[in-house]
């Protein structure tokens, strides 16, 4: 399935250093959404190097990355795992592949539409309801965070909601 060409393309897009990955897992254990991902960012890199295109592109992780860049800051080999994610997104886009589970994006968008910002708690909770697999760790963490007042249930809202609604409408009319 042209796996090698695939590896080459990702390397071209995300950098030659990818070949030097030692599978240490620093990226994945630094990753803020790793607990939601099917393949850890580390494993994604392995899949790329192995030329396992179908598995790599089918991975949820590509869509769950929040671009926080912690992986990239910490990788001891100077690899940019986030750039790998971006490369894979680019390839998916070209090949018309979408997240197999678009629920996360949908929830994300719905929240923005209604309040103009994201509430980690509501986002995680809504996502957990649709993805029982991911639910347990999310809930555990959520309860702990809530009990310490680290997060709030009320997302609040931003000023300029009209503007946001307008952007959404315009986009949908296109």
Q: Which residues bind ligand SF4 (CB under 6 A)?
A: 21-27, 30-33, 41-42, 45, 65-71, 75, 77, 79, 81-82, 85
**92 binding partner (options other proteins, ligand SF4, none; Cβ < 5 to 8 Å by kind):** none
Which of residues 34 and 91 has its CB atom nearest to other proteins in the complex?
Answer: 34
Contact between residue 18 and residue 72 where contact means Cβ atoms under 8 Å apart: no
Phi and psi at 50, nearest 5°, equal -85, -5
User: Which CB sits closer to ligand SF4, 79 or 164?
Assistant: 79
For ligand SF4, the closer of residues 65 and 164 by Cβ is 65
68 binds, among ligand SF4, other proteins, none (CB under 5 to 8 A by kind): ligand SF4
Collapsing DSSP to helix, strand or coil, 55 comes out as helix
Q: Pick one of 7, 10, 26, 83: the residue that binds other proteins (CB under 8 A).
A: 26
Q: Which of residues 54-93 bind other proteins (CB under 8 A)?
A: 70, 73-78
In sequence order, the 6+-apart residues with CB closer than 8 A to the CB of 55 are: 39, 47
3 contacts 53 by C-beta, under 8 angstroms? yes
Q: Are 111 and 161 in contact (CB under 8 A)?
A: no
Whichever of 127 and 164 has its CB closer to other proteins, that residue is 127
C-alpha to C-alpha distance for 129 and 101, rounded to whole angstroms: 13
Smallest gap from Cβ 43 to other proteins, in A, equals 6
First to last CA, the chain: 35
Nearer to other proteins, 34 or 128 (CB): 34
Q: What is the SS3 assignment for 82?
A: helix
Binding site residues, other proteins, CB under 8 A: 22-31, 34-35, 40, 42-43, 70, 73-78
């Amino acid at each position: 399935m042209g796996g090698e060409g695939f590896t080459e393309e990702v390397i071209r897009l995300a950098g030659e250093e990818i070949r030097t990955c030692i599978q240490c897992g620093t990226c994945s254990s630094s990753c803020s959404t790793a607990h939601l991902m099917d393949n850890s960012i580390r494993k994604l890199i392995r899949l790329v190097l192995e030329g396992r295109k179908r598995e790599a592109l089918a991975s949820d992780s590509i869509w769950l990355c929040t671009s926080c860049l912690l992986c990239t800051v910490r990788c001891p080999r100077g690899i940019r795992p986030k750039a790998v994610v971006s490369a894979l997104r680019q390839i998916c886009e070209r090949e018309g592949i979408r997240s197999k589970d678009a629920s996360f994006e949908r929830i994300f968008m719905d929240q923005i539409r209604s309040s103009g910002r994201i509430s980690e708690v509501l986002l995680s909770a809504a996502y957990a309801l649709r993805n029982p697999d991911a639910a347990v760790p999310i809930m555990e963490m959520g309860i702990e965070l809530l009990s310490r007042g680290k997060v709030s249930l009320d997302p609040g809202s931003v000023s300029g909601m009209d503007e946001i609604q307008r952007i959404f409408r315009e986009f949908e009319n296109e």
